Chain A
């Protein structure tokens, strides 16, 4: 099923830094605010800043963003975003961190690399494996980066926009059906 022609969501314009963005800036990590999500502070940070930023946000007593809800990978045809939803067990603030990873080539097999945070945040372990499996972001220094949902030797990353579905005896057109 071709997905390349689907419209990408609109890019939103940059805004002033919020509470967590300022906190990161105080600690020497640059970020830009992009409120794509409704009512939630969303920042974009660079690849190299990701690990220190998350480590800081998790452990610092000011932020206490100690709940990693999910890591999602989104394929925007030209780049892939790794999105971290951070909540807290202690307070009601939320933060969305995005890392934009440009794709090198349009081929299905191209790799996108990012640093793993599974070493200091156990919750990230399976989420990173899943994102690797489905979207194809390769998390470097992950303790056990293996496909988690699809079979271990699966080819391709299904949630890429250019993914070509495997057609064989298990899912070709049903011979019995009228379809």
Chain B
């Protein structure tokens, strides 16, 4: 366990570590002040404790759409018992959860709901893409109504193949996620989370990405302006 904790401390040098805290573009130009160093030191001290706690209490959101949701339910039940890892606290509200297990197919109609849920989760948040449907679309990979992989709309931390994966496989994914949580820098994670938002918004009413709709609207307006 201590190896895991020390992993990220040793691997990166101070400047780059701090650069991530400041801004990726300005990494080379900034000279570190003592306050920065202090913050960095603090984050390095706090981070292992925070990580240890966070990795051992990953509370999933009760989000399930189809078959995988049943296996997700099963993993909480007596035979597999996710509570051994402290994750049986399935929260119904995204505000109190840490993890979305996207259990089941995400359709275009559901995509906007998933995005809302993802954005409602407080940082630091994690996503496990569970099952073939959410990784690539799986057996519905040519259906007109299925989003071909949730990583197209929200960032994914762990991919868990299977259709549906065995409950043990979910535990396996959870353990891998815990490992990931342990090896990351908490402060850095928070800063990064605000910097990059690779979320692709989807319109609920017509099931198409908002970008496309915006582009179409822009095209229409420019056409109208041209005609004028």
A residues with a Cβ closer than 8 A to B are 1, 149-155, 158, 163, 165-166, 168-172, 174, 176-177
Partner of A169, one of B136, B200, B204: B200
Q: Give every chain A residue within 8 A of B144 (Cβ-Cβ).
A: 158, 163, 165-166, 171
Does B111 make an interface contact (CB < 8 A)? Answer: yes
Expressed in whole angstroms, the minimum distance between the Cβ of B42 and any Cβ of chain A is: 37
**Nearest Cβ in chain A — how far from B112, in angstroms?**
9
Q: Does B152 contact A (CB under 8 A)?
A: yes
16 A-B pairs in the complex with CB atoms less than 8 angstroms apart: A150-B109, A150-B207, A151-B204, A151-B205, A163-B144, A165-B142, A168-B212, A169-B209, A169-B212, A170-B111, A170-B152, A170-B209, A171-B146, A171-B148, A174-B136, A174-B137
In terms of DSSP, what is the predominant structure of the interface of chain B?
Answer: loop
Contact between chains at B206 and A153 (CB < 8 Å): yes
Residue of chain B at shortest CB distance from A159: B144
Return the 5 tightest CB-CB contacts between A and B, nearest first: A153-B206, A151-B207, A153-B205, A171-B148, A170-B147
Q: Does B145 contact A (CB under 8 A)?
A: yes
- The smallest C-beta distance from A145 to any residue of chain B, in angstroms, reads 17
Contact of B149 among A1, A153, A154, A174 (CB under 8 A): A174
Give the dominant DSSP class at A's interface.
loop
The count of residues in chain B whose C-beta lies closer than 8 Å to any C-beta of chain A is 26
B153 touches A170 (CB 8 A): yes
CA distance A20 to B102 in the complex (A): 50
Asked if B108 is at the interface of the complex by the 8 Å CB criterion, the answer is: yes
For the complex, give the distance between the alpha carbons of A174 and B147 in Å: 11
The docked-state distance in angstroms from the alpha carbon of A149 to that of B153 is 21
User: Given B108, B200, B209, which contacts A151 in the complex, CB threshold below 8 Å?
Assistant: B108
Contact of B142 among A1, A152, A153, A170 (CB under 8 A): A1
